[in-house]
Amino acid sequence: MTSSEAKRELHKYASTERKKSNEWFFKTKPGQYGHGDVFIGVSMPDLRKVAKQYTSLPLAEVAKLLSSKIHEERMLALVILSYQFAKSDSRGQSQIYHFYLSNTEHINNWDLVDVVVNKIVGAYLWEHAEAERDILYAYATSKNMWERRIAIVATSYFIYQNDFKDTLKIAEMLLHDEEELIHKAVGWMLREVGKRDRAVEGSFLKKHYKSMPRTMLRYSIEKFPERERQAFLKGLV
């Protein structure tokens, strides 16, 4: 199996109409966060079909996909990695985890972060007790917006295990981030905490909601009863 073969298979599903839609949706115009990203127009279901055909692709070939200028080829690499991680032993998972961390420069849009970071970084840190979670705190202070998003979204794996402490600590670190995509990610993770323990989320919000960016607050209280949601929005809690 080679990356060239995987690319050829992926390109069979390319759509001009979806390409244009993705270029708009992922903000590829000058001055926007996705400026310069290149799309060919492949849907996620089709991309996953291809990924399942190449789960045995060697890491050296995955690296070639991940360094591609084409967005969907980078996404293909990440989805393949997540499939490989799920079926690997401890040694293989460690290799994939460190490979992911050494290639964050290519994980440069929100969907590229969100689709697998919890399945690789979050899962590895949870399943390997000896692994230090300090990497998430280092990323939370990174100048790279996508590494900051990795830091908070990776904790979704912990949330699903009802472990909220890292999510809340990193959310607090990112409260005053300047990027809206970080506001959305933090609000999303706080909302996920609230789905499992409303009291924990409520306690965090009561402490911080008046200084939180509006987008972050709106995302975090999206599932609240309307009366409670309005109380937070109006500063009446």
User: Consecutive sets of 10 residues in the chain, 237 residues long: mean pLDDT of each?
Assistant: 96 95 91 91 97 97 97 98 96 96 96 97 91 93 97 98 97 97 98 96 96 96 94 91
Q: How high is the pLDDT of residue 132?
A: 86
Architecture label for domain 132-237: Alpha Horseshoe (1.25)
d(CA 161, CA 93): 19
Q: How high is the pLDDT of residue 184?
A: 98
Domain positions in the chain are 132-237
Half-sphere CA count of 214, side-chain side, radius 13 A: 3
Report which residue type is found at 221. I
